[in-house]
A and B are shown apart, each in its own frame.
Chain A
Amino acid sequence: MTATKTGGPVAARAEEIWKVYGSGEAQVTALRGVSAEFGRGRFTAIMGPSGSGKSTLMHCLAGLDTVDRGTVHVGGTEISNLGDKALTRLRRDRIGFVFQQFNLLPTLSAAENIRLPLDIAGRKPDPQWWETVITTVGLSDRLAHRPSQLSGGQQQRVACARALIGRPDVIFADEPTGNLDSRSGAEVLSFLRSSVREHGQTIVMVTHDPVAASYADRVVFLADGAIVDELADPTAETVLDTMKRLDTQTDPVML
């Protein structure tokens, strides 16, 4: 089985999506008919070894990459057939991003970086929500600083705040703790989890760190471009066990 479903409302959905890179001998099939649903207000982690297709899956869900076959829906909109203009709008208004490499603009202050998606759209932040976000990420006294004056953890918290500020349908986080020490990583992850628990934000996070995955409500495991397992309410131990088990199997398990 390569499909995974959740009960309740869906924020993003992939149906039978295929993604093939290159051609001829260099051809690599990154996704082979993946179907998955990501529930609204849920924190989902996508795990898998390198080359399993987890990043590709996220990129396709986020409208950063196109699928070769199958459909992707974000918040009820099918995005697999949208052009660049519509995709840009979608990213701007309905999707938030947190990247491994913080990816802040060095010319802008922390506050300006957080406001960037709204500024691009020409919208004003809701003052109340702004206060909430700033307080939650604990950056009130750092707002005028440039990224170069912030620590890695602070930068990533700015990036998280930037993703949250527009209240997108989904936030996609790509290895958000990959470049952080464990303490800063824990801060960022707690912050992401609390935004789900307290504000009903939907988050999809790609990671290869079992500890990071344990912050999620649910973990989806990928191997060789297909979903091979999933866990609800994971702990670091159960995630690690599942991964070990998957490592020893040569073929994808059928669930």
Chain B
Amino acid sequence: MLRATLKSLLARKLRLILSGLAVVLGVMFVSGALVLTDTLNRTFDSIFADAYAATDVAVTAKPALEISELEGEEVPAPLPAATIDKIKTVSGVRDATGRIDLDGARVIAADGKVLTSFGPPRMGVNWTGVDDIMEMRAGRGPESDDEIAMNAATAALSGWQVGDRVPVLTREPKKMFTLVGVWAYTGGRDSLGGVQEVAFTTPVAQALMLGEANAFTSVVVRADDGVTPAQVRDDLTTALGADYQVRTGEELAADSAAGLQEGVGFFNQILLGFAGVALFVGIFLILNTFSIIVAQRTRELALLRAMGASRNQVIGSVMVEAVIVGAVAAVLGLAAGIGAGAGLGYLFSTMGGSSLTLAPVGVPLSAVISAFVVGIVITVIAAVLPALRASRIAPIAAMQEVATPDRPLTKLTVAGSLVTTIGATALGLGLFSDTGDTTIWLIIGGALVTFIGIALLTPLISRPVVSLLGRLFSWSLPGRLGRLNSGRNPRRTAITAAALMVGIALVTGVTVVMDSAKSSLKAEVARVLKAQIMISGDQAGPRPPTYDPAVIDEAATVPGVRAAAGVYHDMVQIDGEQRYVNATGDLATLAQAYGTTAPTLTEDQLAVSAENAAAWGWQDGRTVTVQASRGEPHTYTVAHLYPEGALPGSIILPAGAIKDFAITQPTIGYIRLDDGVSVSAVLPQIKALVADSPEVTAVDQQTFVDDQAAGFDQIIMMIQILLGLAILIAVLGVVNTLALSVLERTRELGLLRAVGLNRSQTMRMITVEAVVISVFGALLGVTVGAGMGSAVTRALENDGITELVLPWPRMATYLALAALVGVVAAILPALRAARLNVLGAISHD
């Protein structure tokens, strides 16, 4: 039995490879994600191990707010200089150095643009000399207050050289320094992990980075010879008490690496999402291929049954095929995944001009195991139905010429309706009722089940729709024949189209939600925002763009300006909950600039949107305690409620709160003009004011709204990549189906050629069949996607997505793309059909 299985497998290898490709892609993404994560994790481990190689023990003050790496940088609490003296008295401490290293030293490059970073921080540090892992490339460390040094990566990116005057943005607005030295790290590395570093003298670093004299962010301790770091750590912990965190260099390296590795997890999820789509679509393809193979092998399988093979042996024979295909796909996918992981790792290491020294690419055991598990399990699942069908072939079929009867679609339709209903119900529950933690699973599961249900219904829908679509091509005989052929096997047409449907439905759905959100945002901003000029910039990386607060004061004095207000932003803890807050110099001014009215807040009052106040139970007059990124907790009274959207953000703190924010510069500004003053008259003057804050620009309202909405376009872009992947897999499906059609209809093709159909007409016939199938799939996808997208949008109505926008041009593009897919997919099968030997084809059976 096994031998027969293997023989038949080999005879069909091309077809199986085609459908196996979908599994290969899925496995590639899974193993690629694991390889990438593994490589990056080891890279980070080694970076931090190096960075803290010269550190025996490090002391930091506990941060006021503990934040995970995903939400932002923790701001360490300042550590008073006196602590260093105390540390030095502890036994086993040979030496203790106060260090300042904080994110936020932004060098303005020689071309006038601020150096950006897509992940690694832009550190401002105090110069404490050249240590074991550093080496000077040029010059020396900073000695006077207007001197700086920078690491080689920063120097290379910015284009500055020793001796240049370099502008740097810190807690303070732009300041000029003389670059006196460039350093690198042992092993010829320009930086550790792509981090940009600028070194100031200690007092300057304290003033510009920390905002506090005589304080540090950490103290690096070297232990006496013969004393282990762990011992010193324990002694220091006892001596300093609970306000300080004492860690050995190794612990610090592990903690820091763990923080970054959390960030990498996000990357991983995207790749696993891709894998999920590829595998889900892949199931359709494999199911289709195995169904066809079983149908073609009817006589062979019946013969086996007639000779005494049991049903289970027949099932087993199909399953063995599935396992082999799955295993082969797993091996290929794993190999491709290792390549993809290495490639993505390389991209990651060079992203944003940073130069991460990547650890050698390794293949973790988890990647190998999951490749085989995913590859084989998916293929076997897809083969279950065809195997069952195979086992039901009667032995008598071996003796008879059995025309595969066109089985009625009733059962399939009933099952499809049932499954669709279940899926839609789950989706609806997830969207419109409060189901807590299970919501996301209800939505994802509901969507998947709905897809399957619709796929089951597709054969029924395909008849009228395909025949209607086909009429578009019926003006010529090859087109008409192609149309008739695409309607010949509704099941096969349907499942091929369904594979395409999934990808296009996902993309259309997301596009509907995003376009609706974008349009709602634009409408909302246009409705409430009366300010005509905004100061804002694009955020690249974790740190928002900021500008000099003096700009606001100066803008207020420009003739024609009625009010100007800057808004500061931070994440804080309020009564134990993490919340995003804004703060502004004077709420009354902000309200005036924004286009509403509000009182001035005292230092102990805050304003909150009425909607959030109701949700959180913050009635007027209630007091709440706010812990910002640094400093002591502060208690505020709820003093002003405003309608959601009437002022920026949901909580607004008074000016006094700003000094404890992680970033003490405004991130956005609103300027409202006097009635009758034209924007074009004032805008150039405001632009001139922000010239020294190159992270931001002054823009008019239209530009501002467009910029705000640009984020949605980025998400749509991302999701289009997913579309590309889904389309790629669907192409494989269409190619597969057509190749089979050509094979099955060899004799017909021979006849057509014999009676005078020429090669190009033959190719046209096949192409029309492909185009009809893929456009049908796209039509389904666009319809289902628009439906799902509309449902999600409606469900989010209370969350501010008030407008429903159906992206007609995009949907039309997807349909056009599908037609193109059909043409591309038809190329090989059509060539094959055209090249058929007429004589051989006619006598083919």
Contacts and interface: CB of A to CB of B under 8 A. Distances in A.
A65 interface: yes
A64 B836 CA distance: 12
Given A64-B839, A85-B758, A105 B753 contact: no
Contacts of B748: 103, 105-106
A59 B839 CA distance: 8
Interface in B816-845: 838-839, 842
Contacts of A92: 755-758
Nearest to B754: A97
Contacts of A59: 839
A107 B488 contact: yes
B165 interface: no
B485 interface: yes
Interface string A86-125: 0011011100110101011111100000001101111000
Contacts of B488: 106-107
A85 B758 CA distance: 7
A234 B181 CA distance: 112
A64 B485 contact: no
B751 A103 contact: yes
A127 B759 CA distance: 29
A88 B757 contact: yes
Nearest to B487: A107
Looking at A89, A120, A162, which has the most chain B CB atoms within 10 Å of its CB? Answer: A120
Chain B at the A interface: mostly helix, strand, loop or mixed? helix
Contacts of B842: 64, 99, 101, 103
Nearest to A108: B484
Contacts of A65: 839
A92 B755 CA distance: 5
Contacts of B838: 64
A119 B477 CA distance: 6
A223 to B, nearest CB: 22
Given A103-B747, A105-B481, A117 B755 contact: yes
B406 to A, nearest CB: 10
B752 A105 contact: yes
Nearest to A162: B755
Interface string A134-148: 000000000000001
Nearest to A119: B477
A120 B751 contact: no
A60 to B, nearest CB: 10
A198 interface: no
Contacts, number: 69
A91 B755 CA distance: 6
A105 B751 contact: yes
Interface string B93-123: 0000000000000000000000000000000
Given A91-B756, A93-B756, A97-B754, A107 B484 contact: yes
B295 to A, nearest CB: 16
A88 B756 contact: yes
B761 interface: yes
Looking at B403, B485, B842, which has the most chain A CB atoms within 10 Å of its CB? Answer: B842
A8 B752 CA distance: 33
B758 A89 contact: yes
B477 A120 contact: yes
A84 B759 contact: yes
Contacts of B477: 119-120, 122
Contacts of A97: 751, 754-755
A120 B485 contact: no
A84 B758 CA distance: 8
Interface in B739-773: 747-748, 750-759, 761
Contacts of B747: 101, 103
Contact of B756 (A99, A105, A121): A121
A120 B761 contact: yes
Contacts of A96: 755
Contact of A91 (B485, B754, B761): B754
A18 B748 CA distance: 29
A178 to B, nearest CB: 12
Contacts of B756: 88-89, 91-93, 117, 120-121
Nearest to A88: B758
A115 to B, nearest CB: 10
Interface in A139-198: 148, 162
Contacts of B484: 107-108
A107 B753 CA distance: 16
A122 B842 CA distance: 23
Nearest to A100: B843
A68 B487 CA distance: 42
Interface string B367-407: 00000000000000000000000000000000000010000
Contact of A99 (B751, B759, B761): B751
A117 B484 CA distance: 17
Nearest to B755: A117
B285 to A, nearest CB: 25
Interface string A31-48: 000000000000000000
B622 to A, nearest CB: 76
B691 to A, nearest CB: 71
A64 B751 CA distance: 11
Contacts of A64: 754, 838-839, 842
Contacts of A121: 756
Contacts of A84: 758-759
Interface in B57-73: none
Contact of B481 (A101, A107, A148): A107
A253 to B, nearest CB: 30
Nearest to B480: A119
Contact of B757 (A101, A103, A104, A120): A120
Contacts of B753: 88, 91
A220 to B, nearest CB: 21
Contacts of A162: 755
A239 to B, nearest CB: 25
A117 B757 CA distance: 8
B407 to A, nearest CB: 16
B485 A107 contact: yes
Contacts of A119: 477
A97 B748 CA distance: 13
A108 B482 CA distance: 12
A106 B484 CA distance: 10
A107 B484 CA distance: 6
B755 A120 contact: yes
A113 to B, nearest CB: 10
B751 A88 contact: no
Nearest to A121: B756
Contacts of B750: 103
Contacts of B487: 107
A84 B760 CA distance: 11
Interface string B636-662: 000000000000000000000000000
B473 to A, nearest CB: 14
A99 to B, nearest CB: 6
Nearest to B762: A88
B663 to A, nearest CB: 70
Contact of A116 (B755, B758, B759): B755
Nearest to A102: B751
Contacts of A116: 752, 755
Closest 9 CB pairs of A and B: A92-B756, A107-B484, A103-B751, A88-B758, A119-B477, A117-B755, A64-B839, A91-B756, A120-B756
25 contacts: A64-B754, A64-B838, A64-B842, A84-B759, A85-B758, A88-B753, A89-B758, A91-B753, A97-B755, A99-B751, A99-B842, A101-B842, A103-B748, A103-B751, A105-B481, A107-B481, A107-B485, A108-B481, A116-B755, A120-B752, A120-B755, A120-B756, A120-B761, A122-B477, A162-B755
Interface of A: 59, 64-65, 84-85, 88-89, 91-93, 96-97, 99, 101, 103-108, 116-117, 119-122, 148, 162
Given A108-B481, A108-B484, 15 more contacts: A85-B758, A88-B756, A88-B757, A91-B756, A96-B755, A97-B754, A103-B754, A103-B842, A105-B748, A105-B751, A105-B752, A106-B488, A116-B752, A119-B477, A148-B403
